[in-house]
Structure 1
């Protein structure tokens, strides 16, 4: 299912939801353990897992972008800066696993936004596949499909904003 994307007072808000048949602790480990993190997002590395700590993004050219952890509650909440935006993972236990909510607060929609949203969509699918003991054969092919859908969704949002004004 496509993320919900809404306009807010300060920009936009994208929300992804997943019901996973795995414990909060298992899912949390994929968000914070560097060995598991690199399986679904190889460019990310947790430097200091604490509020005020950092996550590094490997730019692939020998440089790293530093992202600040703004909120942290172990096994429950991980929020950090993402360039000019903010990303947030929330986990809550359920009887047969856990509920994962991923949110991105977007200051503005750019030409890159659909790429990022499709990327996050695929990342969440990969986490679920890894937890289930599966692999995703062609992430790029899956990403292309979601990218087209997010391009359309963002176009619809821009058009509705234009119509409203």
Structure 2
């Protein structure tokens, strides 16, 4: 199921939800521990895990983009800038596991937006599989499928 997209007064919100049969600590490590991060998002590196800290995104050309942490509560909330947008992870303990929510606050829908949304979708699926000790055969094939879905979804929300 794709993320829910909502038009807001100051842009858009995409909300992804995953129910995981793992502790908040295990899920938190996937989001913040660089050894775990590189398994599902090798371009991303955590530095200074605190409010005002940062993540670094390897642009692949020798340069890095810094993303400031603007919300941080250990094992519960991780929020940082993502270009002009904001990405927020929320972890809620539930009986027998963790509810993982990813909320992206999008300032404007661009041609790149469905690419990012499909990317986040696949990343969350990879996190789920890694926690279950499984792998993903082809991220690019899966991404292609979700990209088409998010392209339609972003076009639809803009016409509302």
Which TM-score band (shorter chain)?
A: over 0.9
- CA deviation digits over 1:57-87, x for unaligned, max 9? 0001111000000010000000000000000
Structure showing greater radius of gyration is: 1
1:37 — aligned with what?
37
Question: What do you get for the CA RMSD once the two structures are aligned?
Answer: 0.5
Query: Which runs of 5 or more structure 2 residues have no equivalent in the other structure?
Result: none
2:61 match: 61
The whole-number CA distance in structure 1 between the counterparts of 2:62 and 2:26 is 31
**Displaced runs of 4 or more, over 2 A:** none
Instruction: State TM-score, norm by structure 2.
Output: 0.99
Residue of structure 1 equivalent to 2:131:
131
Query: How many Å separate the matches in 2 of 1:55 and 1:68?
Result: 7
Give deviations 1:110-149, integer Å, cap 9, x for gaps. Answer: 0000000000000000000000000000000000000000
Residues in 1 aligned to 2:39 and 2:58: alpha-carbon distance in whole angstroms: 14
Segments of structure 1 that go 5 or more residues without pairing to the other structure are: 161-165
1:16 aligned partner: 16
